[in-house]
């Protein structure tokens, strides 16, 4: 494996002490081309191109950790009769600016104490204040499975998710386009679940066509940062009506018990970030949302 460049996620580089081995099959996909990235519009495209530049010198492959993530399956943690809560650790966002300079481990522990089924950890440094070191520390500190939340444009980011303790990685269809299937296959080969994120009907069709089994619908249009709270209910209902077997996650704009309660019988889980990191007592906040979704 080539030497590891400086960590572009603001963390401490690859985690040490992880048993690794090369496995047949599941070859890493190619990094996204500049032509593909130039086709991604707005804020989303700008951040995706920044991430591509940060990973430009990274090798596409490398030794793979053996076994499964220690915290277990992200997808299985979301199964149940109610709406599971995925609680997110982030310090900033492009739409909100600086939110709260939280300690990732303290915050994640509070989320889990409040009943969060899983924890999402931002690793993008420039717009969200994230770092790979946050992911590694949270994954080590809590029993709940973790999601690497970033803008994946290079296979090294998927491998990093696994070596830094995540059970799942976010794959954004608006960024990956037709490369989704290759990245989804690579994540699975590494023992990761993939939360495949969509925002419109075309992206949903791509996710279904790639046989994604964990699909998140984002109410926020990442190109413009605007939110339409009807997006997730509409697309989840469409996906379920198609007969496609998947776990469905509603994302963005769910910061109240009433909003979560409205998802019962529709979404399997809800991902919540800003409202929780701003709360003085995140454990209590999560507990109320979990109760609303039960």
Sequential DSSP letters for 89-126: E-SEETTTEE-----HHHHHHHHHHTT-SEEEEE--HH
Active site (annotated) includes residue 88: yes
Of the residues 88, 124, 160, 203, which is catalytic?
Answer: 88
Are 99 and 278 spatial neighbours (Cβ–Cβ below 8 Å)? yes
Reported as a single tens digit per residue, the pLDDT across 204-220 is 999 999 999 999 999 99
Let me know if residue 242 belongs to a domain: yes
Q: Would you tell me how many other CB atoms lie within 10 Å of the CB of residue 246?
A: 19
Of the residues 93, 120, 133, 252, which is catalytic?
Answer: 252
Of the residues 139, 167, 218, 219, which is catalytic?
Answer: 218
Let me know if residue 52 belongs to a domain: no
Active site (annotated) includes residue 100: no
Q: How many residues does the chain have?
A: 294
- The 3-state DSSP composition of the chain as helix, strand, coil percent (nearest 5) reads 40, 15, 45
Q: What's the pLDDT score for residue 71?
A: 80
Domain residues for the domain of 245 are 73-293
Let me know if residue 58 belongs to a domain: no
Give the chain's radius of gyration (CA, Å): 17
Of the residues 124, 160, 197, 203, which is catalytic?
Answer: 197
Q: Which two tokens stand for residue 82?
A: 């109610």
Total structural domains within the chain = 1
Angle between helices 201-209 and 231-241 (to 10 degrees): 40
Reported as a single tens digit per residue, the pLDDT across 31-55 is 999 999 999 999 999 999 999 999 9
Of the residues 9, 50, 90, 124, which is catalytic?
Answer: 90
Q: Which two tokens stand for residue 169?
A: 């990685």
The CATH number linked to 224 is: 3.20.20.70
Let me know if residue 68 belongs to a domain: no
Active site (annotated) includes residue 245: no
Q: What's the pLDDT score for residue 19?
A: 30
Q: What's the pLDDT score for residue 81?
A: 85
Let me know if residue 3 belongs to a domain: no
Residue 13: pLDDT band with limits 50, 70, 90: very low
Reported as a single tens digit per residue, the pLDDT across 247-283 is 999 999 998 999 999 999 999 999 999 889 999 999 9
Q: Would you tell me how many other CB atoms lie within 10 Å of the CB of residue 140?
A: 14
Let me know if residue 46 belongs to a domain: no
Element holding 21 (H helix, E strand): strand 20-21
Let me know if residue 203 belongs to a domain: yes
Of the residues 50, 71, 139, 149, which is catalytic?
Answer: 149
Let me know if residue 215 belongs to a domain: yes
């Amino acid at each position: 494996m080539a030497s590891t460049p400086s960590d572009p996620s603001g963390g401490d580089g690859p985690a040490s002490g992880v048993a690794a081995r090369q496995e047949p099959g599941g070859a890493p996909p190619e990094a996204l081309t500049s032509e593909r990235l130039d086709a991604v519009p707005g804020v989303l495209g700008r951040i995706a191109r920044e991430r591509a530049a940060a990973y430009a010198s990274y090798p596409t492959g490398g030794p793979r950790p053996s076994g499964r993530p220690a915290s277990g399956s992200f997808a299985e943690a979301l199964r149940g009769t109610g709406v599971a809560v995925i609680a997110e650790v982030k310090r900033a966002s492009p739409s909100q600016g600086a939110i709260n300079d939280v300690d990732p481990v303290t915050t994640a522990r509070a989320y889990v104490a409040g009943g969060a089924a899983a924890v999402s950890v931002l690793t993008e440094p420039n717009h969200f204040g994230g770092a790979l070191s946050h992911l590694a520390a949270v994954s080590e500190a809590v029993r709940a499975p973790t999601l690497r939340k970033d803008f994946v444009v290079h296979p090294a980011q998927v491998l990093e998710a696994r070596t830094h303790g995540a059970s799942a990685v976010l794959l954004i269809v608006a960024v990956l386009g037709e490369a989704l299937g290759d990245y989804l296959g690579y994540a699975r080969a590494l023992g990761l679940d993939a939360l495949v994120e969509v925002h419109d009907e075309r992206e949903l069709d791509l996710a279904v066509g790639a046989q994604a089994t964990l699909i998140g619908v984002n109410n926020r249009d990442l190109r413009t940062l605007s939110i339409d709270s009807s997006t997730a209910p509409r697309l989840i209902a469409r996906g379920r009506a198609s007969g496609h077997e998947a776990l469905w996650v509603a994302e963005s704009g769910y910061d109240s018990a009433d909003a979560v309660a409205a998802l019962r019988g529709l979404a399997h889980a809800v991902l919540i970030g800003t409202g929780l990191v701003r709360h003085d007592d995140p454990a209590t906040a999560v507990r109320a949302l979990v109760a609303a979704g039960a």
